């Protein structure tokens, strides 16, 4: 039995301080979950917290995938098996530097549908989703002998909206799915946000990583009784492409944690272990400039991206030992990863032999209308001399080719929207979605060349579109034959030998921009801009003997060779 007391959480009637660490099952290979959970226990934590990403579980309406890395039940059972408790934060919106803050893109295809407010069609979809998640969570509540102590309603709602009917309805859906453990909300410790994001009868918690005393005081004003909890104790931060790699001082982070625990508060360390934005799962920010988030979610957390303890781990463990019993065992430090190289060969060029079927469109469709993340568009430009190509807004990056020769790249981050074509001809534009904004009012916006697309002020019509199915890229060689290397997006492959299937780090410094797969698993995006210069390859993806690497280079490769290096290179701390 877990309850909210006058000043504490109560577990079976006795005061209980939550010492939790955030660990997102969907950012870690499932065969590594148990290892990370055990290391949380050895740091002195008694609880693991996770979000649930709606869009990963429901890539299409009416689906709910719980296979592999999405097996929430297995994850919660592994938490319980380690003797730890769990906190589940199912959103429906989660932020989390995750594509679209977890909201499925298909929601936004319905004209006029309003998200994160009481809107009937949105609420019907939320109800279906939450029922699917909570069917898993309900039997795993602490009252039923399971690990789950708390369930969170929405996420930092006070930073987005002001619709108490909506928040209340989400809480009611959670309750009617059989959740009887206490519910919580989280908000940044700002009066207006705590006021708009809270609900009577639901414990308010805060998200912050510094100025602990002041933040707890603000939280206390809005939560006059009950335990104080920092639901996101930010111990690091995330990175954007082209920005510095963020780290925080170990001593300062440890001192803030100490202050929090000395004040008697409960904590969820965000992150204990960040993991990786595999595939196309990373989000973006946009406060006037679009900034996509990188693939690594190392977060400068106590356990690094490969799950190894850092100096911060040991410092936090020592702080926790002042307030709670910490197991004697200390996890071992990470060893250097195997170094090996392999030449990339068998190039397949998209412009030479498109990797899909063409569809015809009188008007240019968005990527959303095509249900795609990467699309090659083509049309004919009837002009003798130079002509101006202009686009309302490029979301997010367009590689422009004329008669198969590159004429430029338009990038949303630079606010690029026009290009002078030197002459008419066969125009091809590859459009890339670099991740949806996950915070603020731009969530859900459509991707693609957002109109109008004009030639000297006249709308360009009659387009053909070829959707690139990224999941199918590793199998392209079954249907497309290699050609000579040349202009435009190119898929390469290599095989490499592995003795023991341990973690590897793939260097991307000599490459341009694209994606890499190992044995068919999409490791995520790489980009020479950095800051990260390596991709994390989880050991469980590998097998002894021959393994296959596939790289889709959208830009240009300086050196078509794959190098696996001894450790991660996450980039410069200052620019
Ligand atoms: C907020 C959100 C989290 C995450 C952090 C930053 O606290 O609630 O999901 O985005 O910011 O890492």
pLDDT at residue 485 in the model: 86
Is pLDDT above 90 for 523?
A: yes
pLDDT at residue 230 in the model: 98
Residue to mutate (ligand 1; options 96, 231, 277; most atoms within 8 A of CB) = 96
User: Parallel, antiparallel, or unpaired for β 521-527 and 47-51?
Assistant: unpaired
**Residue nearest atom 11 in ligand 1 by C-alpha distance:** 96
Q: What is the pLDDT of residues 486-505, one digit of tens each?
A: 999 999 999 999 999 999 99
Give the ligand 1 atom nearest the CA of 97: 10
Phi first, then psi, for residue 501 (nearest 5°) are -75, 75
Q: What is the pLDDT of residues 54-97, one digit of tens each?
A: 999 999 999 999 999 999 999 999 999 999 999 999 999 999 99
Average predicted confidence (pLDDT) for the chain: 97
Q: How far apart are CA 6 and CA 224, in angstroms?
A: 9
Is pLDDT above 90 for 335?
A: yes
pTM: 0.98
Q: What is the pLDDT of residues 364-394, one digit of tens each?
A: 999 999 999 999 999 999 999 999 999 999 9
Ligand 1 center–CA 28 separation, angstroms: 18
Give the ligand 1 atom nearest the CA of 95: 9
Q: How far apart are CA 314 and CA 349, in angstroms?
A: 49
Q: How confident is the model at residue 117 (pLDDT cuts 50, 70, 90)?
A: very high
Ligand 1 center–CA 96 separation, angstroms: 5
Ligand 1 center–CA 17 separation, angstroms: 22
Tell me, rounded to whole angstroms, the distance of Cα 221 from its chain centroid.
33
Ligand 1 center–CA 359 separation, angstroms: 39
Length of the chain: 575
Ligand 1 center–CA 154 separation, angstroms: 12
Q: Which residue has the tokens 């006249």?
A: 458
Q: How far apart are CA 399 and CA 353, in angstroms?
A: 17
Percent of the chain residues topping a pLDDT of 70: 100
In the chain, % helix, strand, coil (3-state, to 5) comes to: 25, 30, 45
Is pLDDT above 90 for 530?
A: yes
Is pLDDT above 90 for 353?
A: no
Give the ligand 1 atom nearest the CA of 271: 12
Q: What is the pLDDT of residues 218-242, one digit of tens each?
A: 999 999 999 999 999 999 999 999 9
Calculate mean pLDDT across residues 328-356. 95
Give the ligand 1 atom nearest the CA of 101: 9
Is pLDDT above 90 for 134?
A: yes
Q: With contact defined as beta carbons under 8 Å apart, do 444 and 105 qualify?
A: yes
Q: With contact defined as beta carbons under 8 Å apart, do 415 and 409 qualify?
A: no
Calculate mean pLDDT across residues 331-358. 95
**Residue nearest atom 3 in ligand 1 by C-alpha distance:** 96
Q: With contact defined as beta carbons under 8 Å apart, do 256 and 310 qualify?
A: no
Phi first, then psi, for residue 546 (nearest 5°) are -85, 135
Give the ligand 1 atom nearest the CA of 94: 9
Q: Active-site residue 232, yes or no?
A: yes
Q: How confident is the model at residue 469 (pLDDT cuts 50, 70, 90)?
A: very high
Q: With contact defined as beta carbons under 8 Å apart, do 272 and 303 qualify?
A: yes
**Residue nearest atom 4 in ligand 1 by C-alpha distance:** 96
**Residue nearest atom 6 in ligand 1 by C-alpha distance:** 96
Residue to mutate (ligand 1; options 24, 49, 97; most atoms within 8 A of CB) = 97
SS3 state of residue 173: helix
13: β partners: none
Ligand 1 center–CA 29 separation, angstroms: 22
Q: How far apart are CA 323 and CA 325, in angstroms?
A: 7
Pocket lined around ligand 1, Cβ cut-off 6 Å:
94-97, 155-156, 207, 232, 238
Q: How confident is the model at residue 361 (pLDDT cuts 50, 70, 90)?
A: very high
pLDDT at residue 482 in the model: 83
Residue to mutate (ligand 1; options 50, 91, 156; most atoms within 8 A of CB) = 156
Q: With contact defined as beta carbons under 8 Å apart, do 413 and 242 qualify?
A: yes
pLDDT at residue 354 in the model: 83
Q: How confident is the model at residue 330 (pLDDT cuts 50, 70, 90)?
A: very high
Residue to mutate (ligand 1; options 270, 273, 293, 294; most atoms within 8 A of CB) = 270
pLDDT at residue 481 in the model: 86
CA angle, 165 then 167 then 169, to 5°: 65
In this structure, what token pair is assigned to residue 571? 């980039």
Active-site residue, selected from the candidate residues 49, 97, 156, 413 = 156
Ligand 1 center–CA 334 separation, angstroms: 28
Q: With contact defined as beta carbons under 8 Å apart, do 467 and 356 qualify?
A: yes
CA 421, 423, 427, 430 dihedral sign is negative
Is pLDDT above 90 for 194?
A: yes
Q: How far apart are CA 370 and CA 469, in angstroms?
A: 11
Domains of the chain plus CATH, in order, are 16-321 (3.20.20.80), 340-347+482-565 (2.60.120.260), 356-467 (2.60.120.260)
Q: With contact defined as beta carbons under 8 Å apart, do 468 and 356 qualify?
A: yes
Query: Where does residue 167 fall: left (phi above 0), alpha (psi -120 to 50 degrees), or beta otherwise?
Result: alpha
Q: With contact defined as beta carbons under 8 Å apart, do 468 and 491 qualify?
A: no
Q: How many CB atoms lie within 10 A of CB 12?
A: 9
In this structure, what token pair is assigned to residue 61? 């309406």
Q: How confident is the model at residue 105 (pLDDT cuts 50, 70, 90)?
A: very high
pLDDT at residue 200 in the model: 94
pLDDT at residue 336 in the model: 97
Ligand 1 center–CA 255 separation, angstroms: 21
The H-or-E segment that residue 133 falls in is helix 120-137
Phi first, then psi, for residue 199 (nearest 5°) are -140, 135
pLDDT at residue 483 in the model: 87
The H-or-E segment that residue 174 falls in is helix 164-176
Q: Using alpha carbons, select from 254, 327, 380 the residue that is nearest to residue 40.
A: 327
Q: What is the pLDDT of residues 268-309, one digit of tens each?
A: 999 999 999 999 999 999 999 999 999 999 999 999 999 999
Ligand 1 center–CA 102 separation, angstroms: 12
SS3 state of residue 498: strand
Q: How far apart are CA 47 and CA 31, in angstroms?
A: 20
**Residue nearest atom 7 in ligand 1 by C-alpha distance:** 207
Tell me, rounded to whole angstroms, the distance of Cα 463 from its chain centroid.
32
pLDDT at residue 104 in the model: 98
**Residue nearest atom 5 in ligand 1 by C-alpha distance:** 96
Cross-sheet strand order for the sheet of 418-421: 418-421, 387-395, 448-455, 458-459
Q: How confident is the model at residue 13 (pLDDT cuts 50, 70, 90)?
A: very high
Calculate mean pLDDT across residues 109-127. 95
Q: How confident is the model at residue 451 (pLDDT cuts 50, 70, 90)?
A: confident
Q: With contact defined as beta carbons under 8 Å apart, do 448 and 395 qualify?
A: yes
Torsion angle of the four alpha carbons 120, 121, 122, 124, in this order, in degrees rounded to the nearest 10: 80
Give the ligand 1 atom nearest the CA of 207: 7
Q: What is the pLDDT of residues 136-163, one digit of tens each?
A: 999 999 999 999 999 999 999 999 999 9
pLDDT at residue 107 in the model: 97
Is pLDDT above 90 for 252?
A: yes
Q: How far apart are CA 38 and CA 455, in angstroms?
A: 60
pLDDT at residue 188 in the model: 98
452-479 as b/e, with b when 16 or more CB fall inside 10 Å? ebebeeeebeebbbbbbebeebbebeee
How far CA 570 is from CA of 142, 246, 529, in Å, comes to 39, 9, 12
CA 63, 516, 27, 341 dihedral sign is positive
Q: How many CB atoms lie within 10 A of CB 491?
A: 25
Q: How confident is the model at residue 315 (pLDDT cuts 50, 70, 90)?
A: very high
pLDDT at residue 368 in the model: 97
**Residue nearest atom 10 in ligand 1 by C-alpha distance:** 96
Q: What is the pLDDT of residues 22-39, one digit of tens each?
A: 999 999 999 999 999 999
User: Parallel, antiparallel, or unpaired for β 203-208 and 229-234?
Assistant: parallel
Calculate mean pLDDT across residues 509-516. 98
Q: Active-site residue 369, yes or no?
A: no
Q: How far apart are CA 539 and CA 554, in angstroms?
A: 27
Active-site residue, selected from the candidate residues 97, 232, 413, 428 = 232
């Amino acid at each position: 039995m877990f309850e909210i007391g006058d000043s504490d959480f109560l577990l079976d009637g006795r005061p209980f301080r939550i010492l939790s660490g955030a660990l997102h099952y969907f950012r870690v290979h499932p065969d590594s979950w148990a290892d990370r959970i055990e290391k949380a226990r050895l740091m002195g934590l008694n609880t693991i917290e996770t979000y649930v990403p709606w869009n990963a579980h429901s890539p299409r309406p009416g689906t709910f995938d719980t296979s592999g890395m999405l097996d929430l039940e297995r994850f919660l059972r592994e938490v319980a098996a380690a003797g730890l408790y769990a906190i589940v934060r199912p959103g429906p919106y989660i932020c989390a530097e995750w594509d679209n803050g977890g909201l499925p893109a298909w929601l936004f295809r319905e004209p006029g549908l309003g998200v994160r407010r009481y809107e009937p069609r949105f609420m019907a979809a939320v109800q279906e989703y939450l029922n699917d998640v909570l069917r898993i969570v309900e039997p795993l509540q602490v009252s039923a002998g399971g690990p789950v102590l708390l369930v969170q309603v929405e996420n930092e709602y006070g930073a987005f909206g002001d619709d108490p009917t909506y928040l209340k309805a989400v809480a009611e859906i959670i309750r009617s799915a059989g959740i009887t453990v206490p519910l919580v909300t989280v908000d940044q410790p700002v009066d207006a946000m705590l006021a708009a994001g809270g609900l009577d009868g639901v414990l308010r918690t805060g998200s912050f990583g510094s100025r602990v005393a002041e933040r707890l005081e603000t939280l206390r004003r809005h939560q006059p009784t009950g335990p104080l909890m920092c639901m996101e104790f930010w111990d690091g931060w995330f990175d954007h492409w082209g920005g510095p790699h963020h780290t925080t001082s170990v001593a300062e982070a440890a001192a803030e944690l100490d202050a929090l625990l000395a004040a008697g508060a409960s904590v969820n360390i965000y992150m204990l272990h960040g993991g990786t934005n595999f595939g196309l799962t990373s989000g973006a920010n946009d406060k006037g400039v679009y900034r996509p988030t990188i693939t690594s979610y190392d977060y400068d957390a106590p356990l690094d991206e490969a799950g190894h303890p850092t100096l911060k781990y040991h410092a936090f463990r020592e702080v926790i030992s002042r307030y709670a019993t910490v197991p004697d065992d200390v996890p071992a430090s990470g060893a250097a990863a195997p170094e090996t190289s392999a030449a990339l060969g068998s190039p397949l060029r998209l412009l030479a032999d498109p990797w899909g079927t063409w569809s015809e469109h009188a008007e240019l469709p968005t990527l959303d209308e095509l249900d795609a993340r990467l699309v090659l568009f083509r049309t004919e430009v009837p002009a003798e001399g130079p002509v101006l190509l202009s686009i309302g807004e490029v979301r997010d990056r367009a590689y422009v080719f004329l008669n198969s020769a590159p004429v430029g790249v338009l990038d949303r981050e630079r606010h690029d929207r026009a290009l002078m074509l030197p002459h008419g001809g066969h125009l091809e534009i590859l459009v890339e979605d670099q991740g949806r904004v996950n915070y603020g009012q731009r969530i859900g916006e459509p991707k693609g060349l957002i109109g109008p697309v004009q030639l000297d002020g006249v709308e360009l019509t009659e387009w053909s579109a070829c959707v690139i199915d990224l999941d199918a890229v590793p199998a392209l060689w079954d249907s497309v034959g290699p050609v000579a290397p040349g202009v435009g997006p190119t898929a390469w492959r290599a095989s490499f030998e592995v003795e023991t299937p341990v973690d590897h780090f793939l260097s991307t410094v000599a490459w341009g921009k694209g994606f890499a797969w190992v044995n068919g698993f999409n490791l995520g995006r790489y980009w020479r801009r950095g800051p990260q210069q390596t991709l994390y390859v989880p050991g469980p993806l590998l097998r002894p003997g021959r393994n296959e690497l596939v790289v889709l280079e959208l830009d240009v490769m300086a050196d078509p060779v794959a190098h696996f290096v001894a450790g991660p290179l996450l980039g410069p701390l200052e620019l």
